[in-house]
Structure 1
Amino acid sequence: MSNVTEKTTVNLLGKEANLHQQVLASFPLCDVTEDDLTQNPRFCKLLVLLAQHMDRTGLTASLKAELEKTEQNLQSQRRQWLRTEVLHRGLQEMIQDHHCFRRPVNKTTPDLQFHETMEKCLLVAQCVRQLDPSSATNEEQPFVFGLTEVDRFGFSQDVQRMRRALPKQLENHLRQKCLHLLSYYQPECETESEGLKTVKLSHLSALLDKEKTRAESLRGTCRENAVLLQRQSQVYLCELMKCIQLLQTLILDHRLKIQTDLDRSKLDYLEGKCELVLQKLKAETVEVQLDTYTPDSISAHRKIREKLEAELKACRAEKQAAELKLTSFEILGKEFKALADEYCRLRSEIENKKWALAELTHVKS
């Protein structure tokens, strides 16, 4: 039975080679990669079965039908509310325009009476709506505080005249707003005739719906691109981490060997350079000697050097023997030191007297 289910699942979404791509396409908002599906085949099969009962947004067929029905009802209620709200705001804008432009002399008395009556009617309607505690809207509903139609509208004749003139005034006002919207949407139509503006105005709603549809399509495309970009970013980060690990392996495994070879090459280079410098110094020394001394003087200097080195060697030997004798004398103690000092003094006097006697003999002769 399980094998039959698996075959049916594969046949529903295509061949096994394209199964992962189709699962990802069926759940675009799910943060799952192709590697996750490959490592978890049972989870992949579960997603395939869920794709038969759910759409791309994660809703079931029954829930989606209820949602569509609710949205249609909501749209109907919204249209009714918008229709009433547009009329109400249109009347308020007419009153605002009247207050803003009431000072010019071109405002006639009937026009002033019309706007004042309309303003009073809106004010009374607003009071009724705010003070009425009930939720009924039929005409049999009792008036606020027991007021009658006559009590509320003592200016009934003005109200009748206002109601007769209101549709045309409201139509003109809405037409002007539509023309302003058309001028904003298509600034090039400012210089066109009224007939052409009317024709374009009749197509304005279709153009706006088209632009709205296009904007929603672009918004959906942006969401899909964002999901795709996030998925690609994750794949890129995974590949980047693999590359970093590979680089670390190369560094740790091969750096010491390469560094040893590099140090050996550098050492050979420095040894060769040092040898070359020594040879150059020797050559410079020989060249300086040849430029400074003749072969005879060099030979004489060598003999003098040999003689001086021999005398230096003899002096060093004599110094060493004297140091040995001095060390043996120091072993005898302080009493022998006094005798040695006295002996040195006597030797010095003897030498001085010999020198004086020799000088005296030399003078007499």
Structure 2
Amino acid sequence: MSGCAETRDVLLLGKGDILHQQVLASFPLCDVTEEDLTQNPQFCKLLATLTQYVDKTGLTLSLKTDLDKAEQKLQSQRRQWLRPESLYRGLQEMIQDHSVRKHKSTLPPDQNMFYETMEKCLLVANCVKLLDPSSTTHQDQPSVLGLTSQHVMELMPLEKNVTRMRQGLPRQLEKHLKEKCLSLLSYCQPESENESEGLKTVKLAHLSALLEKDKKRADKLEESCRENTVLLQRQTQLYLSELIRCIRLLQTLMLDHRLRVQTDLDRKKLDYFEGKCELVLQKIKTEMVEIQLETYTVATVTAHRKIREKLESERRACAAEKQGVELKLSSFQMLGEEFVALADEYCRLRREIEMKRWALRELTQFKDQ
């Protein structure tokens, strides 16, 4: 039953793009795009169901109620604190303004006495508060240097001066606050500078409403700025995703184009290198021919031709001599082993004759010396 109820509630929100837009509007701080909701319908259904239990910031309704109550309590405490604090700061501003006026011009003695008394009273009250913080902290603390609030109260001005100051304080404070309100009115409405005091006083009665209106307008502009910021972030994310998709598509097109062009480019490079190689070979042959022409002149070629003819004739003579010796050797080999023994003996005798001739030649040279 609960599942049917959730489905019915989702159907009541809308379908398709309308549902996606409602979910995105209900969760502006969620980093989700419409494409994510389209790809994940169950997640979109979950978010659509959660819109009935949480607000735009992601808080549940009960937690939002508790937060509103805490906010109201905080505002009440803040207002209670702001009343005495604003009064104290107003008195401090009055004292500062008096100090400035006192340095610029001479003021009446009673006015000087009024502000001096007020300044001393504020200083004593502040010191008493610091020495006795039990009213705010609800606990006892050790005294500072052994001082107590009674010791500080002894520094209060004369009673008659304090009484006179208290009697004139509401009038002076009202005058000071009125001047501040008029300056604030001049800031909010510069055209009121030249208006009469009566008209300014009338406008002061509507100053709070004017400030409240400006505050609401500022809050509205801030909310609009926040929504525009969220919208800008979402649009930026969509833009980046589309940009990434376009970049990937461009990379794919570049790769395909490169693969198609690479074959033609390789073939052209091959033709270029073949032509360059052929040119280099022709240049090498040309250089070789030039070297041969520089090395072999007409005279050199004629001399080489004569040397070749002479060598050819000697080769032919040696070949004829070799042929005759081979014929003799073949005829000797036909005589048998007895001729071999005679040939060996003949060779031995020839060697002995040569040795004796050498020895005789040496002896003859030795005798001549």
Instruction: Place the TM-score, normalised by the shorter chain, in its bin.
Output: 0.5 to 0.7
- Residue 117 and residue 154 in structure 1: after superposition, are their counterparts in 2 closer, same or farther (change >3 A)? closer
Map of 1:121 onto structure 2:
121
In structure 2, the partner of 1:85 is 85
Distance in 1 (CA, whole Å) between partners of 2:226 and 2:254 is 41
Q: Counterpart amino acid of 1:47? A: L
What is residue 42 of structure 1 aligned with on the other side?
A: 42
Distance 1:202 1:46 in 2: 52
Confirm or deny that 1:194 pairs with 2:197: yes
* Corresponding letter in the other structure for 1:111: Q
CA distance in 2, matches of 1:5, 1:327: 123
- Structure 1 counterpart of 2:248, which letter? Q
Question: By how many angstroms is 1:129 displaced?
Answer: 0.4
Offset at residue 109 of structure 1 (A):
2.4
CA distance in 1, matches of 2:310, 2:212: 124
Cα displacement (A) at 1:258: 4.9
Specify whether residues 191 and 6 from structure 1 end up closer, same or farther in structure 2 by C-alpha distance, changes over 3 A only: closer
The alpha-carbon distance between structure 1 residues 262 and 149, as it changes in their structure 2 partners (threshold 3 A), is closer
| Aligned equivalents of 2:132, 2:265: Cα separation in 1 | 96
Alignment map for 1:1-365 (pairs within 5 Å): 1=1, 4-5=4-5, 7-102=7-102, 107-135=107-135, 145=148, 147=150, 151=154, 153=156, 155-258=158-261, 325=309, 328=312
Which of these two proteins has the greater Rg computed from alpha carbons? 2
AA matched with 1:160:
T
Q: Conserved in 2, the CA contact under 8 Å of 1:29 and 1:57?
A: yes
Distance 1:238 1:102, change over 3 A: closer
- Deviation of 1:145 after TM superposition, in Å, equals 3.4
**Aligned residue identity for 1:208:** L
SS in structure 1 of the partner of residue 56 of structure 2: coil
Whether contact under 8 Å (1:13, 1:19) holds in the other structure is yes
Residue-by-residue CA offset, 1:241-295 (whole Å, 9 max, x unaligned)? 2222222222222344356679999xxxxxxxxxxxxxxxxxxxxxxxxxxxxxx
Q: Please report how far the alpha carbon of residue 83 of structure 1 lies from its aligned counterpart in structure 2 after TM superposition.
A: 1.7
Does the 8 Å CA contact 1:13/1:48 hold for their aligned counterparts? yes
Cα-Cα RMSD:
3.7
TM-superposed CA distance for 1:12, in Å, is: 3.3
C-alpha contact 1:28 1:56 (8 A) present in aligned 2: yes
**How high is the TM-score relative to the length of structure 1?**
0.66
Would you say the 8 A contact 1:21–1:34 is kept in 2? yes
- Unaligned regions of 5+ residues in structure 1, if any? 138-143, 266-316, 333-365
| Cα distance between partner residues in 1 of 2:31 and 2:158 | 68
Q: Distance in 2 between matches of 1:41 and 1:329?
A: 110
Per-residue deviation, residues 87-130 of structure 1 (Å, max 9, x unmatched)? 11111111122222225665222212211211121111011101
Match for 1:155: what amino acid?
L
> How much has 1:191 moved relative to structure 2?
1.8
Q: CA deviation at 1:25?
A: 1.1
User: Which amino acid letter does the alignment assign opposite residue 123 of structure 1?
Assistant: L
- Aligned identity (percent) is 61
When normalised by structure 2's length, the TM-score is 0.66
Distance 1:146 1:256 in 2: 93
**Structure 2: tracts of 5 or more residues without a match:** 138-146, 269-300, 317-369
Contact 2:117 2:157 in 1 (8 A): no
Which deviates further from its counterpart, 36-45 or 191-200?
Answer: 36-45
Q: Distance in 2 between matches of 1:321 and 1:224?
A: 107
Counterpart contact for 1:150–1:156, Cα < 8 Å: no
The question of whether the paired residues in 1 share the 8 Å contact of 2:10 and 2:49 is answered with: no
How far apart are the structure 2 equivalents of 1:330 and 1:102?
143
Do the aligned residues in 2 keep the contact of 1:29 with 1:227 (CA within 8 Å)? yes
TM-superposition CA deviations, 1:313-343 (whole Å, max 9, x none): xxxx9999779648857989xxxxxxxxxxx
Give distance in 1, aligned partners of 2:95 and 2:256: 85
Aligned pair in 2 of structure 1 residues 255, 192: CA closer, same or farther (>3 Å)? same
Q: C-alpha displacement at 1:133, in angstroms?
A: 4.4
Q: Distance in 1 between matches of 2:33 and 2:18?
A: 14
Maintained 8 Å contact 2:29/2:57: yes
- Structure 2: which amino acid aligns with 1:113? M
Distance across 2 between alignment mates of 1:241 and 1:47: 27
Distance 1:135 1:330, change over 3 A: farther
